[in-house]
Structures are given as structure tokens and as C-alpha cells.
Amino acid sequence: NDVFLLTLDDFFNNNKFINFPCIQHKTDILTTIISNFIIMRMRQYSLITNKNTPKVNAKKKKLAKLVPT
């Protein structure tokens, strides 16, 4: 489940000092990794939240079909 998270933790726990030839590249790469991680976690959270919320509109449509208008 948390392969990316475990990989990221392992990387930062074992590599206290990340050597890049250029500080700009270091900033860009770390920013990309962290922003992609945050986006992925937000998508996972919203997917789980949407799965757990009751489908109100679907129930209303089913009930509307049963009631003669």
C-alpha cells in the first residue's frame, strides 16, 4: 500500500546528505518529488472518502422511479 512512502522514508533515512551538482536542480527535484507525493496522497484520500460516502443521488433516482408522478 505505502510503497512510495516507504521508499521515500528509506531514501531520506539512509541519505542524510543529497549531493547535487547544482542547488537549483536539487530544489527542482525535491520539489517535484514532494509535490507529486502530496498530489498522490490527496487523490487516494478523496477516492477513499468518495467510496465511503453514501450515494444520495442514486437513492433519490431509484425512489423517484417508484413514486408515480
Q: Where are the domains of the chain?
A: 3-66
Give the span between the Cα atoms of 48 and 32, in whole angstroms. Answer: 24
pTM of the model: 0.54
Closest CA to 17 of 30, 31, 5: 30
Q: Is 30 left (phi over 0), alpha (psi -120 to 50) or beta?
A: alpha
**Could you tell me the pLDDT band of residue 69, with boundaries at 50, 70 and 90?**
low
Give the span between the Cα atoms of 44 and 37, in whole angstroms. Answer: 11
Closest CA to 38 of 1, 8, 18: 8
Give pLDDT tens digits for 23-58.
888 888 888 888 888 888 888 888 888 888 877 787
